[in-house]
Structure 1
């Protein structure tokens, strides 16, 4: 059942960073979040340590917040957590999996790679690390952690905090360039997916089959559900965008793009329009095959109309015959390295996908697997 998503925000109480369990003096892992206040009072007489860095920890417990451990303020530990929004969320996901009968561990530490997974799930022959990421981390750090899990045969799945969700419409959200690294594709035949969870409202957001219409704005299949109403396997059930609604939305976006003025702070867009002007063109006079949506647009650094117009002006108008390598070289600074998307194994390249689309609509002719001819009757 579709639901409207209330506003979610991250809550950091006094700057503290939380851990739900810690190691005691005898090496036993103590889950303090499961204890009542009397039990916690007894535990205050003991000493506790971080499972990763072995630094001493403090017990934090009150009437409002989930009982937890916290590093001291001058801690150098890089696994010190993200706050109550994050801790409540991973606890929710952990209990959700336990209720389904799965073998699951909270805050599992992998000594071999010196990483702590929020949740570790073992099922049949698969070992899965679930990361619930609410704070911003660099793409380099995310890739490092992802590769760390894979190096020991663990499958990483990342769920973003819903405080990072920027909804633009019923079927549209904006995904920052940093958050695009969290796009999943579990098999090349399956749709792109990204997951969000709100620990305030207990809602899981599954967004699939998304396609980028700008550098950040997307259209896809958006599903918002109570976590308790879903099973683990629901995360991997394919959901596809409505093609008719998408076509209508894209046409609206394209019409707005042709007609809207450019704010002066959009430097890249301003430079591109000046470049068009030097070629005696503008957004109104560009042919209709500029700004065509493609499924692999997420791999491009620039908006679709920018790199597609570069092909049109610098290649199609100048050459009758060209190769895929020439097109790739022309746009070499416009697309990301495949390492930018560690949770995807791309089976197609956006430039190749776009050229094949132009072949289907009669703009180009495919002479061979790597060679194309411009159809001068249409260009």
Structure 2
């Protein structure tokens, strides 16, 4: 999109390269955002587009062929559904240019197709600007930016964690492949470490509508998760102290100060629960801290409240024992949701009784024997499969 000298918006969508050749010779174009002159490019390789002579101060990162093609597909996808989208819509109050802007049922939306790995702070600023202005941002990431590993895992960089959103059934990341065009949705996200996420995946062609793409979710295969979880957690328990980052991990130091090697932690520590993506600290470590503070060091019959747990975790955040993923916090969700689910799991296992707003300690998860810790963990996960599944529903 560009403006002519008379101020009219001019779109390149649906125009042949032959017709654009004459227009290029006879018409001057200007950026709708910054007002600077732009060049109409109609080369053989790239999608016809406008380009700044230097860069646009509103969106200085520029655009790749992939981004141009993706915006074209997303615009046409919305248009076919009757949304009347506007491409590269400039919002002067925000000094931001939305990739695709549209309104529906009295609400305003900005669909952003993010191809460049921008800083977390810049993405968060853009997201917050939209929300303050009453615009709902819909973030879609280029699928090739998701670094898949062997097996159902991807690397959870800060950039990628920004795109995790809460769905009706599970947290998800919505990605897009421009060629051939399709949506790729990564669902049932569960961190198996600080930097690795387990996922299940589904794809949608452009014939699918907005509601189906954003809201539908395949059933959760808990059997696959538990098989992966047992293997990955077992490997981490053995090798965590050998990792280069181990010396900088306060939670590991807290375990050693209590004379507990990670492999000897109770089998009830290190359980997959929903919404764990909110916590950056390894799942085994933050659950071990709760066990140490609220079960191991307190007598049977003792009580504690969820507020005490929150206070402890907030204090732990200041000392680095527990770390949260900031993009998830910015979404306005309850960061303590996975902690509540974990305490519910311990209660259902008979270690606590919920009385009003307090937990009454009725049992203590015990450390595992050094010669049978792997066997005991595997057996426990199989026995608790049905209970774990209920936590995710």
Shorter-chain TM band: 0.7 to 0.9
- Once the 2 structures are TM-superposed, how far is the Cα of residue 158 of structure 1 from its aligned partner? 0.6
Higher RCO (C-alpha 8 Å, min separation 6): 1
CA drift at 1:338: 6.8
**Aligned ranges for residues 206-217 of structure 1 at < 5 Å?**
206-217=185-196
Contact 1:132-1:161 within 8 A present in 2 as well: yes
The 5-angstrom pairing of residues 215-364 of structure 1 reads 215-225=194-204, 227-235=205-213, 236-260=215-239, 262-267=241-246, 272-320=251-299, 321=302, 322-332=304-314, 333=317, 334-336=322-324, 340-343=328-331, 345-346=333-334, 349-364=337-352
Deviates further, 327-336 or 205-214:
327-336
**Structure with the higher fraction of residues in helix conformation:** 2
Partner of 1:14: none
Q: Which has the higher mean CA deviation after the structures are superposed, 62-71 or 311-320? A: 311-320
Q: Which residue of 2 aligns with 1:100?
A: 81
Gaps of 5+ in 2: 368-393
Distance 1:309 1:365 in 2: 19
Q: Is the contact made by 1:210 and 1:219 (CA closer than 8 Å) also made in structure 2?
A: yes
Q: CA deviation at 1:133?
A: 0.5
The number of residue pairs the alignment matches comes to 356
Aligned counterparts of 1:361 and 1:169: Cα–Cα separation in 2? 34
Structure 1 match to 2:32: 51
Match of 2:141 in 1: 160
* Aligned-residue offset at 1:224: 2.7
Partner of 2:161, secondary structure, is: helix
Q: Shift of the alpha carbon at 1:61?
A: 2.0
Deviation at 1:203, TM superposition (A): 2.9
Q: What is the aligned counterpart of 2:104 among 123, 135, 152?
A: 123
Residue of 179, 191, 194 corresponding to 1:200: 179
Task: Kindly state the Cα deviation for residue 128 of structure 1 after the two structures are TM-superposed.
Answer: 2.0
> 2:8 & 2:276 partners in 1: Cα distance?
49
Q: Which moved more, 1:63-72 or 1:171-180?
A: 171-180
Q: What SS does the aligned partner of 2:85 have? A: strand
Following superposition, the deviation at residue 353 of structure 1 comes to 2.2
CA distance in 1, matches of 2:127, 2:61: 18
Aligned-residue RMSD, C-alpha: 2.7
- The SS at the match of 2:3 is strand
1:178 counterpart SS class: helix
Partner of 1:147: 128
CA distance in 1, matches of 2:61, 2:155: 29
Sort the Cα spacing of 1:348 and 1:331 in 2 relative to 1 into closer, same or farther, 3 A: closer
Partner of 1:30: 10
